[in-house]
Amino acid sequence: MGELRRSRPRSGVGGAFALSDVFYFSKKGIESIVDDEVTQRIMLACIGLSWLVIGTTMVGFLPNCRLKDWLSELVHIMCYRICARGLSATIHYHNRENKPKKGGICVANHTSPIDVVILANDGGYAMVGQVHGGLMGVVQRAMVRASVMSLVYLTPGEDLVMVLPIPGSVEVIYKARHSTDVYGVQICTVTQRSLHCTAEYTPRTSFSYPNITLRHTKLSDSGIYSIKDTENEELLHIYTLEICNVTEQSIQCKVEYQHRAFLSRGTLVLEKVKPSDSGVYTIWDPKYNTIILIHTLSVKDYLPNHVKRHQSTTLECTWNCSSSSVEWTVNRENVVAQCNQTSCISEEGYEMSHDQYLKGHYNLTIIRADYSMRGTYFCMCNNKCISEVKLIVETENSSVQLRPGEDLLMDFPITESVEVTYSGSVIYFCDPTDQKHCKSQQRHRIKPVLKLEKVKPNDSGVYVIQDHHTKYQLLQFNVSVREDNTNGSNTWRIVSAVEAAVILGLIIYFDLMEMQKSDTSD
342-396 per-position pLDDT tens digit: 899 999 999 999 988 888 888 999 999 888 888 889 888 888 888 888 888 888 8
> In which element (H, E) is residue 486 found?
helix 486-521
- Which one of 33-37, 237-241, 244-248 scores highest in mean pLDDT? 237-241
- What pLDDT score was predicted for residue 452? 82
Say which residue, 313 or 262, is predicted with more confidence: 313
| Residue ranges per structural domain of the chain | 39-91+110-129+138-146, 149-243, 248-297, 303-393, 396-481
> Residue 190: which pLDDT band, with cuts at 50, 70 and 90?
very high
- What pLDDT score was predicted for residue 521? 60
> Residue 437: which pLDDT band, with cuts at 50, 70 and 90?
very low
**Would you identify the CATH topology of the domain 396-481?**
Immunoglobulin-like (2.60.40)
Return the SS3 of 284: strand
> Residue 438: which pLDDT band, with cuts at 50, 70 and 90?
very low
CB burial of residue 188 (10 Å; 0-12, 13-18, 19+)? buried
Establish whether the linkage from the previous residue to 210 is cis, with ω within 30° of 0: yes
Pick from 455, 465, 461: nearest CA to 480? 461
- What pLDDT score was predicted for residue 436? 45
| 303-393 is a CATH 2.60.40.10 domain | yes
Neighbours of 29 (CB within 10 A): 10
Say which residue, 17 or 224, is predicted with more confidence: 224
Q: Do 149-243 and 396-481 show the same overall fold?
A: yes
Confidence check: pLDDT of 206 > 60: yes
> Residue 86: which pLDDT band, with cuts at 50, 70 and 90?
confident
Q: Distances from the Cα of 136 to the Cαs of 139, 239, 296, 491, in angstroms?
A: 5, 20, 14, 86
Pick from 223, 240, 187, 226: nearest CA to 102? 226
Mean pLDDT of the chain: 77
Confidence check: pLDDT of 406 > 80: yes
User: How many angstroms separate the CA atoms of 148 and 55, rounded?
Assistant: 15
User: How many angstroms separate the CA atoms of 447 and 438, rounded?
Assistant: 12
- Those residues whose C-beta lies under 8 Å from the C-beta of residue 4, and which sit 6 or more positions away, are 21, 24
> Residue 322: which pLDDT band, with cuts at 50, 70 and 90?
confident
Compute φ and ψ for 374, nearest 5 degrees: -70, 155
For the chain, give the longest Cα–Cα distance.
157
- What pLDDT score was predicted for residue 414? 62
Pick from 361, 365, 358: nearest CA to 324? 358
Least confident of 219-223, 271-275, 326-330, 331-335: 271-275
Confidence check: pLDDT of 188 > 90: yes
> How is 292-329 classified by DSSP, letter by letter?
EEEEEE-----EEEEE-TT--EEE--B----SSEEEEE
Q: Distances from the Cα of 132 to the Cαs of 74, 76, 139, 383, 391, in angstroms?
A: 24, 19, 9, 29, 37
- What pLDDT score was predicted for residue 313? 92
- What pLDDT score was predicted for residue 198? 92
Region 100-108: mean pLDDT is 66
Region 430-450: mean pLDDT is 51
Q: Which superfamily does 149-243 belong to?
A: Immunoglobulins (2.60.40.10)
